[in-house]
């Protein structure tokens, strides 16, 4: 994906002029981008405040502890999967197998439970399995050098298939209440669901690692320019593999929580969740080409996303319409940061159309 | 000017015969590969269970393939230009519902008009996608992910809890998809012709070749004067229009349409395209390959069913196949590039 990025970056074709020499490319736009993303996060924060204000005004239930709990509960697993996805996207890769991984983990919980395993053993096994699934993705992407978009569409089908083989059409739901209670009770003394708590803790850890450690800088560097990162001595493949492994474990964790929340294990648990996860990451200001973004933005995006969904639910707005809002925001997130640039391009485009008839009249051959 | 260019082009092809030929062979091998896997699969399944090649079953496989292969045609054009269209499933769903509804809103509406409406609905969606991608120069993955949600959301708002049922559509429309000649549905023949035309266009027309150029190197394509934005826009428009028509086919075939029609098709179609040998980052592959990819995935699906192997194995096998296909393509590409580089060096010296 990186060449496309280089193409899209500076104002390349002002009346057919060649782009400026590649020298300062790395530094100058990145500072401009920093400001741009700062602004995007401010926008997200404003949007979040707006959502909360709107929520309070339309429903007295919005800030009730039950609503806050269920808000966290229904979005906790997605939120957990968002964190590693954000890191992976920042390196310029993508992982579309997250939901399948969740489903397989959930199926595995059910399968092992029906085979009489003790629950702690199951949890450890499933987390290890998640690690294996993530490693498989990572190795295919880094060691074989395959595009992650294609690979993880493949493993998405594969993992989903394995889940189907394991569980077939069985639905397992006789989990012990001591575990499924995790899904229906809040963490003591708070309104947080367990999954939301896990998310918040992990988000803090990931944010610190990303923004305050050499590893975090490396992740940005890989996404900004893989070759440069490699020559700077960053272990590109190892870090990418590590992130896919992290994603695997996190998805397994999400799968376990998902199973306890619904107290059912089915092979198609979580089907289709990969796209909301990607959408939230992009909405949070992470560039699909990597190298840009922040954990603050991603966390805000999670909050805005779940907040809006919740408000729409409370106002009995047609649930199907949530997609319009989600998609609209996503579109806004890519268009808004460069609206000025866009206008310039639009003008240029119209210009090019005017000159077009002379350029070619070419049907075929 | 033109002739000079052509002559130079001629000289080029003359001197660079070697890698071209090797590249051609590789490409042919690539499609042969899919056909070989397909033949082996069919032969083995037939050997075990003769029922597999019964006329009824062939019809069944072909019809299921038709929609996917048709979608793959549009998707392949987009992917070849180094973009991706994730909205096809949603467009299909919207078109399927609206066109299905059309029969009860406008009584006695001719079927071709309904197809035209489906095409226009899809075209509209594709045009919007294409405009945003081409003019905004925003990554198509993000744009079409957004439009996937928006279109599905609009679909949901329009449909509400509604369902179009077969009885509300004219029987000629419902049976249209099932009409066959020698067990081959007419619809399949039409789609096959369209795919062949698409293949010819991409292979022999300048604008078709330009899609490959854009996919290989967008920046270089622009610098040599290809109107990349316009071409990409067109690819999205075509993909959308095809998805719209597929929606009508879907309504005809399944008879019942609710707001979930076509959910999740996008990744399946991309899977078929990639299995068929179209590189996910563009620049290589053919629409015939993509269609064969769709056929292969669908055949496996049915073969497992016929063999009495639990259909639960279906996805796992498709997943492995996809991974093998990507790895294979990658290896082939590496070889071809190496061969070209070698050849290029020799030309320089």
Say how far apart CA A80 and CA A101 lie, in whole Å.
13
Å between A178 CA and nearest CA of chain B:
32
The encoded tokens of residue A276 equal: 């909301």
Say how far apart CA B290 and CA B74 lie, in whole Å.
10
Residue B155 has a pLDDT of 86
Asked if B326 lies within 8 A of A151 by C-beta distance, the reply is yes
Phi, psi of A176 (to 5 degrees): -70, 145
pLDDT reading at A356 higher than 70: no
Q: Residue A120 falls within a domain, yes or no?
A: yes
Residue A34 has a pLDDT of 54
R_g over Cα of chain A: 22
A326 touches chain B (CB under 8 A): yes
pLDDT reading at A26 higher than 70: no
The winner for highest mean pLDDT among A96-105, B147-156, B219-228 is: A96-105
Average the pLDDT over each of A174-183, A189-198, A337-346, B13-22 and give the range with the smallest value: B13-22
Asked if B313 lies within 8 A of A161 by C-beta distance, the reply is yes
Q: Residue A168 falls within a domain, yes or no?
A: yes
Q: Residue A250 falls within a domain, yes or no?
A: yes
Q: Residue A48 falls within a domain, yes or no?
A: yes
| pLDDT tens track for B60-105 | 888 888 999 999 999 999 999 989 899 999 999 999 999 888 888 8
> Residue A237 maps to which CATH number?
1.10.3470
DSSP single-letter state for residue A336:
G
* B154-183 b/e (C-beta count within 10 Å ≥ 16 → b): bbbbebeeeebeeeebeeebbebbeebeee
Three-state SS annotation for chain B = CHHHHHHHHHHHHHHCHHHHHHHHHHHHHHHHHHHHHHHHHHHHHHHHCHHHHCHHHHHHHHHHHHHHHHHHHHHHHHHHCCCCCCCHHHHHHHHHHHHHHHHHHCCCCCHHHHHHHHHHHHHHHHHHHHHHHHHHCCCHHHHHHHHHHHHHHHHHHHHCCCCECHHHCCHHHHHHCCCEECCEEHHHHHHHHHHHHHHHHHHHCHHHHHHHHHHHCHHHHHHCCCCHHHHHHHHHHHHHHHHHHHHHHHHHHHCCECCCCCCCHHHHHHHHHHHCCCCCCCCCCCHHHHHHHHHHHHHHHHHHHHHCCCCCHHHHHHHHHHHHHHHHHHHHHHHHHHHHHHHHHHHHC
Handedness of CA A167, A173, A179, A182 (dihedral sign): positive
Residue A355 has a pLDDT of 64
Q: What confidence tier does A64 reach under pLDDT thresholds 50, 70, 90?
A: confident
The encoded tokens of residue A72 equal: 């966290």
Residue A8 has a pLDDT of 37
pLDDT reading at B216 higher than 80: yes
Asked if A149 lies within 8 A of B84 by C-beta distance, the reply is yes
Average the pLDDT over each of A124-138, A333-347, B261-275 and give the range with the smallest value: A333-347
| Higher per-residue confidence, B219 vs A29 | B219
| Higher per-residue confidence, A226 vs A343 | A226
Residue B5 has a pLDDT of 45
For residue B153, the chain A residues in CB contact (below 8 A) are 320-327
Q: Residue A54 falls within a domain, yes or no?
A: yes
Residue appearing with tokens 């077009």: A356
Say how far apart CA A146 and CA A143 lie, in whole Å.
8
Helices (H) and strands (E) counted in chain A, each on its own, are 15, 0
For residue B152, the chain A residues in CB contact (below 8 A) are 320, 323
| pLDDT tens track for A135-144 | 999 999 998 8
pLDDT reading at B333 higher than 50: yes
| pLDDT tens track for B262-319 | 887 888 899 899 888 888 888 888 898 899 989 988 888 788 777 777 667 777 887 8
Residue B128 has a pLDDT of 93
State yes or no: ipTM above 0.85.
no
Average pLDDT over residues A12-16: 34
Could you tell me the domains of chain B?
31-348 (1.10.3470)
Handedness of CA B113, B117, B122, B127 (dihedral sign): positive
DSSP single-letter state for residue A273:
T
Average pLDDT over residues B200-222: 88
Asked if B319 lies within 8 A of A288 by C-beta distance, the reply is no
- Interfacial A residues in 90-119 facing B (CB < 8 Å): 96
Average pLDDT over residues A10-33: 41
The encoded tokens of residue A211 equal: 């923004």
Å between A354 CA and nearest CA of chain B:
13
Three-state SS annotation for A31-52 = HHHHHHHHHHHHHHHHHHHHHH
Residue A3 has a pLDDT of 40
pLDDT reading at B255 higher than 70: yes
Q: Residue A32 falls within a domain, yes or no?
A: no
Q: Residue A85 falls within a domain, yes or no?
A: yes
Out of B137, B142, B152, closest to residue A323 by CB: B152
Out of B143, B310, B320, closest to residue A331 by CB: B143
Residue B257 has a pLDDT of 83
Å between A28 CA and nearest CA of chain B:
21
Task: Look over chain B and give the mean of its residue pLDDT values, rounded to a whole number.
Answer: 82
Tell me the three state secondary structure of residue A172.
Answer: strand
Closest among B120, B272, B252 to B186, alpha carbons compared: B252
Q: How many domains in chain A?
A: 1
Say how far apart CA A115 and CA A239 lie, in whole Å.
37
Å between A365 CA and nearest CA of chain B:
5
Beta bridge partners of B180: B185
Q: How many CB atoms lie within 10 A of CB A110?
A: 26
Full domain range(s) for residue A197? 38-335
Q: Residue A23 falls within a domain, yes or no?
A: no
Residue A365 parent element (H or E): none
Beta bridge partners of B185: B180
Say how far apart CA B316 and CA A157 lie, in whole Å.
6
| Higher per-residue confidence, B175 vs B251 | B251
Say how far apart CA B264 and CA A88 lie, in whole Å.
23
């Amino acid at each position: 994906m990186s060449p496309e990025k280089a193409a899209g970056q500076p104002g390349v074709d002002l009346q057919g002029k060649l782009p400026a020499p590649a020298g300062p490319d790395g530094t100058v736009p990145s500072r401009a981008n920093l400001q741009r993303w700062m602004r995007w996060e401010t926008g997200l924060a404003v949007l979040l405040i707006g959502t909360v204000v709107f929520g309070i005004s339309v429903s007295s239930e919005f800030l009730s502890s039950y609503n806050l709990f269920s808000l966290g509960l229904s979005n906790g697993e997605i939120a957990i999967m968002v964190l590693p996805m954000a890191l992976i996207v920042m390196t310029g890769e993508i992982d579309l197998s997250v939901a399948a991984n969740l489903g397989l983990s959930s199926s595995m919980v059910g399968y092992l439970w029906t085979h009489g395993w003790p629950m702690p053993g199951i949890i450890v096994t499933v987390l290890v399995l998640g690690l294996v699934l993530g490693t498989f993705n990572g190795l295919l992407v880094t060691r074989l050098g395959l595009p992650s978009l294609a690979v993880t569409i493949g493993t998405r089908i594969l993992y989903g298939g394995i889940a189907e083989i394991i569980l077939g059409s069985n639905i397992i739901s006789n989990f012990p209440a001591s575990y499924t209670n995790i899904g229906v009770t809040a963490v003591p003394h708070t309104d947080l669901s367990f999954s939301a708590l896990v998310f918040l803790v992990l988000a803090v850890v990931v944010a610190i690692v990303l923004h305050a450690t050499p590893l975090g800088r490396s992740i940005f560097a890989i996404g900004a320019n893989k070759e440069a990162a490699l020559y700077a001595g960053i272990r590109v493949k190892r870090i990418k593999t590590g992130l896919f492994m992290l994603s695997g474990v996190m998805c397994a964790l999400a799968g376990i929580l998902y199973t306890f929340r619904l107290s059912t294990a089915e092979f198609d648990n979580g089907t289709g969740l990969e796209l909301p996860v990607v959408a939230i990451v992009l909405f949070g200001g992470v560039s699909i080409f990597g190298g840009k973004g922040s954990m603050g933005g991603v966390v805000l995006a999670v909050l805005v996303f779940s907040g809006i969904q919740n408000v729409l639910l409370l106002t009995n707005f047609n649930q199907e319409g949530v997609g319009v809002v989600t998609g609209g925001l996503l579109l806004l997130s890519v268009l808004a940061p460069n609206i000025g640039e866009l206008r310039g391009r639009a003008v240029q485009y119209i210009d090019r159309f005017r000159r077009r008839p002379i350029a070619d009249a070419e049907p075929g051959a | 000017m033109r002739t000079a260019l052509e002559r130079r082009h001629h000289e080029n092809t003359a001197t660079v015969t070697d890698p071209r030929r090797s590249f051609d062979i590789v490409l042919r091998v690539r499609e042969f590969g899919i056909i070989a896997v397909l033949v082996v699969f069919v032969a083995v399944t037939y050997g075990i269970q003769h029922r597999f090649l019964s006329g009824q079953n062939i019809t069944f496989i072909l019809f299921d393939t038709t929609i996917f292969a048709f979608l793959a045609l549009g998707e392949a054009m987009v992917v070849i230009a180094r973009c991706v269209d994730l909205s096809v499933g949603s467009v299909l769903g919207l078109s399927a519902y609206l066109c299905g509804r059309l029969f009860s809103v406008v009584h006695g509406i001719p079927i071709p008009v309904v197809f035209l409406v489906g095409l226009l609905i899809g075209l509209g969606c594709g045009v919007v996608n294409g405009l945003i991608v081409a003019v905004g120069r925003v990554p198509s993955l993000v744009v079409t992910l957004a439009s996937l949600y928006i279109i599905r959301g609009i679909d949901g708002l329009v449909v509400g809890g509604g369902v179009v049922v077969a009885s509300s559509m004219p029987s000629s429309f419902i049976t249209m998809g099932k009409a066959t000649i020698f067990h081959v549905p007419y619809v399949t023949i039409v789609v096959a012709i369209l795919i062949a035309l698409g293949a010819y266009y991409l292979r022999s027309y300048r604008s078709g070749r330009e899609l490959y150029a854009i996919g290989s190197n967008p920046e270089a394509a622009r610098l040599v004067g290809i109107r990349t934005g316009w071409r990409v826009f067109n690819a999205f428009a075509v993909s959308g229009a095809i998805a719209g028509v597929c929606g009508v086919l879907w309504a005809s075939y399944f008879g019942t349409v609710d707001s979930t029609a076509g959910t999740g098709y996008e990744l399946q179609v991309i899977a078929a395209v990639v299995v068929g040998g179209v590189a996910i980052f563009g620049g290589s592959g053919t629409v015939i390959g993509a269609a064969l990819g769709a056929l292969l995935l669908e055949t496996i699906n049915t073969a497992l069913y016929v063999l009495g192997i639990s259909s639960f194995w279906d996805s796992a096998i498709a997943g492995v196949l996809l991974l093998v296909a990507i790895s294979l393509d990658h290896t082939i590409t590496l070889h071809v590039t190496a061969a070209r580089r070698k050849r290029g060096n020799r030309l320089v010296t």
